[in-house]
Structure 1
């Protein structure tokens, strides 16, 4: 390939897009639901094709149009609420869940590689079956896939921000993929924001002392959604962490502190400051469109550009077959799911408990209950015993009659 094209879905305001561009990928199209985020993408890259609307609606974007375009990478930051620890973790039953659908688009678009990022919650035992279904499906489609939990702070971003990332590549490219290595300790919040707290010719006298107090990295920034009110820096626990660093987390400021503010003033952060904490900088320059709350949500929900750059560069090296070969780890995550999936008949509790190393029947029922949230698990009673069989995956993968369509339209005004 002379040109490494990327199709990006659920592109947001461009954090992943900028990082992938830095890694050498050229955008064929970026698809995003939020109008303000689309305006931001077009503001920064007016030559990109940007499609605004529901990515699963063929009238907004038809994946089949790229089948013959030699796409190197299909990438996206699909919605996080279905897997968020802070939410209900509905997974396949959440109308916002597009993870499984995005995986299916590899068959349609035919990229050499796939990269999807999401919240840490997807890495938890609750979604073991869901994750394994994704790996199995990608294997059927000719890809080798691997999951990895990465921390933004390992890549120079002054923020915790763990992200769970799926990378899949064609079998001939996969051995050359190596996850990026951490680059060292990131700067503190104070070091990162000192210049933005010191407004030229109107300098806040407490800026230097504040920077010394803000000597930690930031907690994970939460952009929120249209379901909630104005912008602030996260839940109660995060607000306490911000308070310890001398930051008022109850809202976002329009401007930095000035010479009129006292030395012991407790500042709020501006959108520009939050963007800096997300990894946008002189090395990753970007502007944001919209009013303050809209800008903050775009910034807060973004994938930090330096992390996207690091993963994108690793994928690029694999596509070019650079470096030593290795074996990717796409091992089974859930023996319970594996046993049910491999059987064409109903399975006894004893067999399931032995396979999963479970000694308590109540624990088996709990685990079956978790699987049943993402899959149809059939039951049959034989005598006094209930037997189990794994049925269809509940997630939306493109079905015309899936309830996702009606639920999406019903909640469209609150989905971001």
Structure 2
């Protein structure tokens, strides 16, 4: 397969596209959307309108490029046709299955589409795959899940890597750690390098928002800005299962309070000329959706922009709570752009190729690997001995923790031998990967109105 010519337009299909944070970043990195699929109609409308307003699509192109519905529903799109001969398959599949703030149900959550996306990649064979999710997916709880993903991608002909990226390392004024998976076909993988981090480039919250805070004449805005140093806590969009817009859980609210922000809701407008309410002796404004969008890496829609690769203007559509969720659940455009540039360079074979030996054989869960390769059930002591013989030391409590985690996402069989020792073997992955009879279909139908 020949490398892509540097000037050639690259094409992406994006699943679970949301309101377009990743979409905008990838467009600025040189990708054109063949298709974007999103479950939420208002987020899809935001994406569709902005493709026209800021990205140069015609109305007809935007209409054809954005589809609304369950991305795993064959009636919404046909991957075999819509994603044939594709450069990049990308998406931000739902986070709740892995979120530390949630129950971390993994394969038991009807919103889990990560494993399905891996199998989709194997079927349509794009040159590259980009998936992002919450930091929770990097936890020990999901080591076996991640190992299965790496192994399946290798079987599909890809070299894959995980990285935990912080948004503030790419100029975005919030923490927002995201766990990112990039996989490329073997021809292109040696040319991939993770984007260079730029720590210290993100503006403090006060400096970033001061002009918006003083829009209605609040004379104390500058003083407030001086005290609102540092970057923001992670913006949390939340889901339809919860109430209206606010700035996150208790810990985040405390962090916002230290910056002089009332995190118990989102305001319709900037503070009035007389200033915001005083709480605990200090003026404490609420943020507007425009302020939250800036923190997420978007520029103001009506600001001057040249349409260049660093022009991240966007206009959101819907009511306040919907707009807040669209913004808060998005992938920051500057981070998406940085990743897109790295993938584009790999597909263009820019630079010197690197050695992929360690990457190709990455091990995230040695207990999973051992059980998967074993032809017979193994006891805890046998697992410890075999791992030690291969150069990996895990004690008994550690092996038992691995087994407990694996039981959540894989069929596990425990057999008690005649001497009373329990031996374990690993079976099928429980995740939804497209099965017609999977429990995901019933659960999804029951909860669809609350899924976001």
Alignment TM class, shorter chain as reference: over 0.9
Q: Counterparts of 1:155-170 in structure 2 under 5 Å?
A: 155-170=170-185
Distance in 1 between residues matched to 2:27 and 2:9, nearest whole Å? 12
Q: Which moved more, 1:329-338 or 1:387-396?
A: 329-338
Q: Counterparts of 1:116-155 in structure 2 under 5 Å?
A: 116-155=131-170
Distance in 2 between residues matched to 1:250 and 1:348, nearest whole Å? 51
Gaps of 5+ in 2: 53-60, 304-310
Shift of 1:261: 2.0
Distance in 2 between residues matched to 1:344 and 1:309, nearest whole Å? 45
Shift of 1:366: 3.0
2:274 — aligned with what? 260
2:440 — aligned with what? 404
Gaps of 5+ in 1: none
1:277 — aligned with what? 295
Of 65, 68, 75, which residue of structure 1 is paired with 2:90? 75
Deviations for 1:156-177, whole angstroms, at most 9, x for unmatched residues?
0000000000000010100000
Shift of 1:363: 4.3
Distance in 1 between residues matched to 2:446 and 2:141, nearest whole Å? 27
Task: Describe the SS at the equivalent of 1:310.
Answer: helix
Distance in 1 between residues matched to 2:395 and 2:350, nearest whole Å? 47
2:322 — aligned with what? 294
Q: Counterparts of 1:327-406 in structure 2 under 5 Å?
A: 327-328=355-356, 329-330=359-360, 331-354=362-385, 355=387, 357-360=393-396, 362-383=397-418, 384-406=420-442
Task: Describe the SS at the equivalent of 2:122.
Answer: helix
Deviations for 1:171-229, whole angstroms, at most 9, x for unmatched residues?
01000000001123111001110111121xx4111110010011110000100000001
1:30 — aligned with what? 36
Task: Describe the SS at the equivalent of 2:87.
Answer: strand
Structure 2 residue 415 is the aligned partner of structure 1 residue 415? no
Distance in 2 between residues matched to 1:359 and 1:221, nearest whole Å? 39
Distance in 2 between residues matched to 1:67 and 1:59, nearest whole Å? 15
Structure 2 residue 18 is the aligned partner of structure 1 residue 12? yes
Deviations for 1:215-267, whole angstroms, at most 9, x for unmatched residues?
11000010000000110000010000000000000000000012122695310
Alignment TM-score, normalising by the size of structure 1: 0.97
Structure 2 residue 213 is the aligned partner of structure 1 residue 197? yes
Distance in 2 between residues matched to 1:66 and 1:154, nearest whole Å? 35
Distance in 2 between residues matched to 1:396 and 1:101, nearest whole Å? 6
Counting matched residue pairs gives 412
Task: Describe the SS at the equivalent of 1:71.
Answer: coil
Distance in 1 between residues matched to 2:394 and 2:11, nearest whole Å? 47
Task: Describe the SS at the equivalent of 2:378.
Answer: coil
Distance in 2 between residues matched to 1:300 and 1:212, nearest whole Å? 25
1:88 — aligned with what? 103
CA contact (8 A) 2:13 2:83 kept: no
Q: Which moved more, 1:274-283 or 1:114-123?
A: 274-283
Of 262, 285, 288, which residue of structure 2 is paired with 1:248? 262
Distance in 2 between residues matched to 1:204 and 1:323, nearest whole Å? 52
Structure 2 residue 336 is the aligned partner of structure 1 residue 308? yes
Distance in 2 between residues matched to 1:38 and 1:169, nearest whole Å? 28
Cα RMSD, aligned residues only: 1.3
1:325 — aligned with what? 353
Of 203, 207, 227, which residue of structure 1 is paired with 2:221? 207
2:57 — aligned with what? none
Q: Which moved more, 1:374-383 or 1:320-329?
A: 320-329
Distance in 2 between residues matched to 1:358 and 1:303, nearest whole Å? 36
1:312–1:123 distance in 2 versus 1, CA, 3 Å: same
2:306 — aligned with what? none
Task: Describe the SS at the equivalent of 1:212.
Answer: helix
1:253–1:67 distance in 2 versus 1, CA, 3 Å: closer
